[in-house]
Homo-oligomer: A and B are copies of this chain.
Amino acid sequence: MKELLYVYLFERIKEQIHMGVFQPGDMLPSEKDLSNQYQMSRITVRKSLSLLEQEGYTYSAPGKGYFIKEPVSNKYILDYEELSSHDGHQFQGKLVEVTIDYPTVRVMKELRISEDHYVVSIQRVLFTGDTPVAFDVKYMPYAKGIPLVEHEIKYATFPELAAKKASLFAIKRELNVKASIADENLAFKLNSSVGKPILTVGQKFFLETNHVLGWGETHYLSEYFELNGKWSFG
């Protein structure tokens, strides 16, 4: 197993950071020094240093040098898709209702539309086997091209639904997580009882222009669902 030059230098410096040889705030040796010390070209040294920067260990200050970052970052990566549980298990979706109507105040606000703009609403119950796990509502400004045929809705993911027009690359998202308890309506739909803890996950899809393509909430019975985040630097 032969190691690449730039990976080698990257590992050496990372090692020294982990061991505390370089502390947050410290300056690394200059590109020129490293290039002499490790007998490699400046370009190769720069590749190593840019790797360190990518991984969140350092930053560079032009005209000064490279510095070790403060490692305190509270960022986590959450992998969320409304039809999958945290262990990758897929939920079955069953359509409850699809309507086209004027928006409520809440929906107007979330979709950033006016009261005279039609809204498509899709309601589903998600199952694991025969057990109802979550209730899901999505709202989209009504527009031509949105599929309203049952089998299309059933298997389409939210981004696909919301993005019949725009390229998927141009879509941005926001996520919101909160806790609540089941009211009568929700308890009925999920065949559960009033007062049960509910984890509500909201998703919004929109373009750079702030044009909102869709907004929805999924209300999970907490006993069947939780979210997990992985640590991420930087």
Q: A80 in the interface, Cβ–Cβ < 8 Å?
A: yes
- Give A204's nearest chain B residue, CB to CB: B231
- Give A19's nearest chain B residue, CB to CB: B167
Give residues 162-214 of A contacting B (CB, 8 Å).
Answer: 167-181, 195-200
Scan A5-23; emit 1 where CB is below 8 A from any B CB, else 0: 0000000000001111000
Q: A228 in the interface, Cβ–Cβ < 8 Å?
A: yes
Q: A78 in the interface, Cβ–Cβ < 8 Å?
A: yes
Q: A75 in the interface, Cβ–Cβ < 8 Å?
A: yes
- Nearest first, the 3 A-B pairs at minimum CB distance are A175-B229, A173-B231, A179-B179
Copies in the complex: 2
Q: Is the CB–CB distance between A178 and B222 below 8 Å? A: yes
CB neighbours of A97 from chain B (8 A): none
Chain A contact-residue range equals 35 or more
How far apart are the CA atoms of A162 and B79 in the complex, in Å?
Answer: 26
Q: A57 in the interface, Cβ–Cβ < 8 Å?
A: yes
Q: A128 in the interface, Cβ–Cβ < 8 Å?
A: no
Q: Is the CB–CB distance between A179 and B180 below 8 Å? A: yes
Q: A25 in the interface, Cβ–Cβ < 8 Å?
A: no
Provided the pairs A167-B19, A176-B226 are in contact, do residues A77 and B75 lie with their beta carbons within 8 angstroms? yes
Q: Is the CB–CB distance between B77 and A17 below 8 Å? A: no
